Amino acid sequence: MTSPLPPSSPRSSVLELAPVLPVVVVENVSDAVPLARALVAGGLPAIEVTLRTPVALDAIRAIADEVPGAVVGAGTVISPADVADSVDAGARFLVSPGWTDTLLDAMKASGVPFLPGVSTTSEVVALLERGVHEMKFFPAQAAGGTAYLKALAGPLPQARFCPTGGVGPAVAPEYLALPNVHCVGGSWMLPPDAIAAGDWARVEKLAREAAGLTP
């Protein structure tokens, strides 16, 4: 976890930063910096800010500018415009719920690491053909969960995954025990009531617990 994703290594792995990748929906840009600081203090430096709200890009920019310990990325990236806007805002990695050739080309050209989303074996094989070995498995629980990923490990051991979607602290260790899973994505360390109350100490505590998860 030393010097994660240094500028000199733009294609370094997002999957190696921490066992959990927080998936963040920022409604108020004023929450972005204290929220990120709490996550980093709790041991979760990689932060995926989803492009689901009007302030998401401003939140990414604020975290990139004001939280030096954070490795902020953009999630819910679904178009080349999202790729360009996210990187311009300071995103250091990109995550998509799915992929197309057009989107994949844009993410490859961005110069930052990316996790394209997959939920079928054919999608995994297609990405491997394109030289992509790190992927987001989404929606993880609905798409087959640990049993599905365990089945993929035999024929496709070169594919590595970050399962996201319905993953919480109860099932996260089961995913992390799989040889082809290197981290999981989730938002359980970001309870809406804690964010609404500005209870960043609670967020930090939950982040620390998540950072300590082991198979």
Exposure string over 73-105, b if 16+ CB within 10 A, otherwise e: bbbbbeebebbebbbebbbbbbbbbebeeebbe
* Consecutive H or E run containing 47: strand 46-50
Contact 211/44 with Cβ under 8 angstroms? yes
Catalytic-labelled residue, pool 16, 27, 48, 129? 48
Q: If you ran DSSP here, which 8-state letter would residue 31 be given?
A: G
- Give the closest residue to 94 by CA, choosing from 172, 14, 214: 14
Q: If you ran DSSP here, which 8-state letter would residue 166 be given?
A: S
Torsion region of 182: left, alpha or beta (phi above 0 gives left; psi -120 to 50 gives alpha): alpha
Q: Write the burial class of residue 149 (CB in 10 Å: 0-12 exposed, 13-18 middle, 19+ buried).
A: buried
**Residue 48 known to be catalytic:** yes
Q: What is the CA radius of gyration of the chain?
A: 16
**Residue 205 known to be catalytic:** no
- Give the closest residue to 144 by CA, choosing from 162, 163, 158: 163
Catalytic-labelled residue, pool 66, 108, 123, 136? 136
Contact 1/29 with Cβ under 8 angstroms? no
Q: Could you list the active site residues?
A: 48, 136
